[in-house]
Structure formats: structure tokens, C-alpha cells
Amino acid sequence: MLRTLSLLLPALIPSWRFFKTVAPSPRLWWRLEGGDWAPVRPRPERVAFATMLRRLVWNPDWNEDLYLVTLSERLVETGSAHSLHELNTRIARITGAPPGARLQFRLTFVTRSGATILTEELYRSDPVEVPG
Amino acid sequence: MSFDLALRLTEILLALALLQHSAEHMTRPEDRRLFAPRIALALLMLAGIATAWVTWALWGIGLLILRRFDGPYNGGSDKMTLLVLTCLACAHLPLDIYWRELALAYLAVQLALSYFVSGWIKVINPDWRSGIALSDVFRFSAYPVSVRLRRIADWRGATFAASWAVMGLELAFPLAVLHPLALAVALLACAVFHLSNACFFGLNRFVWAWFSAFPALLWLQARVV
């Protein structure tokens, strides 16, 4: 009950502090144990304007990507078990990792320091077996 | 705009927002148990059937969704959707009209604050005033929908002008409440702003969530000013 209330209150009394600062931005990578790292759902080189318009009403994959960003931030900030479970489950589905394989992911964060763009790994998961 | 009309318009726009959000979740089998009933209830709300009960049922599902994702699935848009739903539910309570109007007025005030506060926290940040922050959004944030859009980070004149256009709109928004025509123009400009965010950053859910709060402010403006 208290947990629900703590989740509800920011919606009823919002802070509306969008983009107060441009925070370090997570990138999500995956591999099957021992393999090469690859980005989870890499973004396209370009998106046609017609596609942008269509996505006004239908954009499930992108919105899931934004949820993955939120989960990544929660995992690094609080070590949330919920976020870890969600990331493992969703990455397995998105990448089509075969059942029984051992899946691992890592989080790198991109930020700017002066004129330099920095990338730092802040989390690497233990490999987990993809359920059948 | 009358209170009843504002309420009905809010219901229609919110129902459309909920349908849009929920339909996207139906592609994930594990989410269907929560979002299929939400779609059914949103259709009832759209049709204007038993809207008081339907709104409270949708509010209950909103809480379950918060628990399911351990917070908002889609940040600000989920928060705004839940805020609209809560205010609408309170406006349907069998109370004196004063309290029902207060619920819708709270939504209107929060809508105005959503722009003003967002503009204020930007304008006090030197990186936003110089355009660097918006360049950073394009350069390395998770939001640009394509690799090519990241090149906009190097268009310093454009990011500087766009930063001030956004901050100017957000900070001046409360003043628009003083005149019906100014409010109409401001809401139109905000609609363009949300549509741009949807195109550049894929924030499509924000469009429908924020649109659903517009009638409350149009009503409050007519009621008070």
C-alpha cells in the first residue's frame, strides 16, 4: 500500500522538471556468454517523415526502448531487482536469444565532460539462462 | 465552455489517449491481462457509458499498471495520464459542484505548471540558455529517433534558437490564460511543440496525454477570466 502511494504521489503532485539537465545516457548491449557485444535494438540511420507521422499513433518498440532506458537508470541508481528481471526478460525477447543459451547484458553511459564525449561501463549482468 | 462540456471533451480525449497507449502494450503477451480490460473501459468512456464508474475503474487499473512496471512505463506521459484520470474521477464524485469544479481546475493549473516549471528550470541553467543542453540532447541522449538526427547537435544556431523558442513558449504560457485568443494560440503552439517532440524524439504518448488536459484549461479560462 505504501509502495503504491509512493508511486502515485509523483503523478498527483508532479514536479514537471523535464530536462533539468541532460543526464548521462544509457546504452544497452547484449551477448550470449563468451560472444561479442551487440547493441540491443540499434537505432536506424534515418527515419522517413511518413514513418514519424505513423509513429504518432503506433510506436510500441520505441516506447519499450524508452522503458529500457528507465530500467537501466533504476538498476544503476538503486540496484532494483525488478529492473534486472525486466531487462533480462525483455532483452531475451527482443534479441531472439535461443532458449537454454546464457544471456548477458551490460550498460554503458554516455556523457559530456567539457568538449569530450565520455562512455563508461556502469553495470554488467551475470549471465542467465534464457527460459524455454 | 461549460463544465459538463469540458468534462465530456476530457473524457473523449483521455479515452483516445488510453486506447493509443494500451494498444501498444497488446503486442506484449505478458501485458495483455492489464491492458485488455483497460481498452474495454476506455471504449465505454469514449461512448459516454457509465463514465463515473468507468473512470474509477480505469484509475484502479492505473494503480495496478504503476505496480506492474514499478513506476511509470513512459515517464511524464504516464504521470499526466494518471493525473487527468484522477481529476476526472474526482470531478465525477457525487459532491457539491464547487468540489467537482475544483478537481478540474486543479488539472488546468497543473497543465499550466507543466509548461512554466519546465521552462523555468531550463532558463536558470546556463547550458540551456546557450543552446548547449539541446545540442547534448541531440548528440548523446537516448531520444533522437535516428542516427542522422544526431547531426543537428552541430547546428549551433538552430539549437540556440530552438532552446529560446521552447523556453519562451513555456515561460509565457501562464500569461496566455489572460485572454481566450492568446490561450488558443498558446495551445496551438504547444500542440506543434508536442508533435515535434514526437517526430524527433519518439515521444508520441505525450501528445495524446497532454491534449487530454487542454479542455480543462479552456474551461477554467472561460470560468475565471
Joined together, the cell numbers standing for residue B29 give 503477451
Residue of A nearest to B202 (CA): A62
Q: Are A29 and A39 in contact (CB under 8 A)?
A: yes
Place B101 in a pLDDT band, splitting at 50, 70 and 90: very high
- Treating both helix axes as pointing N-terminal to C-terminal, what angle do B156-176 and B97-123 enclose, rounded to 10 degrees? 150
Contact B73 A63 (CB under 8 A): yes
Name the residue range of residue B43's domain: 3-224
CA dihedral B66, B68, B69, B74 (to 10 degrees): -50
Query: What pLDDT does residue A1 have?
Result: 79
Model confidence pLDDT, tens digit, residues A114-132: 989 999 999 999 999 999 7
Residue of B nearest to A53 (CA): B199
Q: Is the pLDDT of residue A21 over 90?
A: no
Model confidence pLDDT, tens digit, residues A95-113: 999 999 999 999 999 999 9
Q: Is A121 exposed, middle or buried (0-12, 13-18, 19+ CB in 10 A)?
A: exposed
Q: Are B102 and A33 in contact (CB under 8 A)?
A: no
**Which of A11, A25, A86 minimises the CB distance to B79?**
A11
ipTM: 0.93
Q: Cα–Cα distance between B97 and A75 in angstroms, integer?
A: 45
Contact A21 B133 (CB under 8 A): yes
Model confidence pLDDT, tens digit, residues B6-38: 999 999 999 999 999 999 999 988 899 999 999
Place B108 in a pLDDT band, splitting at 50, 70 and 90: very high
Query: What pLDDT does residue B76 have?
Result: 92
The DSSP letter of residue B30 is G
Contact A17 B136 (CB under 8 A): no
Q: DSSP per residue over B122-182, as a string?
A: HHTSHHHHHTHHHHHHHHHSS--SSTGGGGGGG-HHHHHHHHHHHHHHHHHHHHHTTSHHH
Q: Look-up: residue for cell 503486442? A: B27
The gap from C-alpha B134 to its chain's centroid, in whole angstroms, comes to 21
Q: How far is B51 from chain A (nearest CA, A)?
A: 21
Q: What's the average model confidence in pLDDT over B81-85?
A: 97
Q: Look-up: residue for cell 536469444? A: A97
Contact A67 B69 (CB under 8 A): yes
Q: How far is B105 from chain A (nearest CA, A)?
A: 13
Place A3 in a pLDDT band, splitting at 50, 70 and 90: confident
Contact A19 B133 (CB under 8 A): yes
Number of domains in chain B: 1
Identity of residue B119: G
Q: Are B45 and B14 in contact (CB under 8 A)?
A: yes
Nearest to A87 by CA among A101, A99, A102, A105: A105
Query: Residue A34, SS3?
Result: coil
Query: What pLDDT does residue B225 have?
Result: 84
Q: Is the pLDDT of residue A19 over 90?
A: no
Q: Cα–Cα distance between B195 and B67 in angstroms, integer?
A: 29
Q: Cα–Cα distance between A115 and B157 in angstroms, integer?
A: 18
Model confidence pLDDT, tens digit, residues A45-84: 999 999 999 999 999 999 999 999 999 999 999 999 999 9
Q: How far is A123 from chain B (nearest CA, A)?
A: 17
Query: What pLDDT does residue B153 have?
Result: 96
Place A2 in a pLDDT band, splitting at 50, 70 and 90: confident
Task: Tell me the domain boundaries of chain A.
Answer: 17-129
Model confidence pLDDT, tens digit, residues B172-220: 999 999 999 999 999 999 999 999 999 999 999 999 999 999 999 999 9
Query: What pLDDT does residue B30 have?
Result: 86
Neighbouring CB atoms inside 10 A of B9's CB total: 17
Residue of A nearest to B135 (CA): A22
CA dihedral B164, B161, A16, B24 (to 10 degrees): 160
Q: How far is A2 from chain B (nearest CA, A)?
A: 11
Nearest to B168 by CA among B118, B125, B109, B134: B118
Instruction: Establish if A115 touches chain B: CB-CB under 8 angstroms.
Output: no
Nearest to A121 by CA among A112, A132, A108, A130: A108
**Which of B67, B69, B117 minimises the CB distance to A16?**
B117
Model confidence pLDDT, tens digit, residues B124-182: 999 999 999 999 999 999 999 999 999 999 999 999 999 999 999 999 999 999 999 99
Q: What's the average model confidence in pLDDT over B85-107?
A: 97
Q: DSSP per residue over B45-78, as a string?
A: HHHTSSHHHHHHHHHHHHHHHHHHTTS-SSHHHH
Best of A2, A4, A9, A43 to disrupt the B interface (most B CBs within 10 Å) is A43
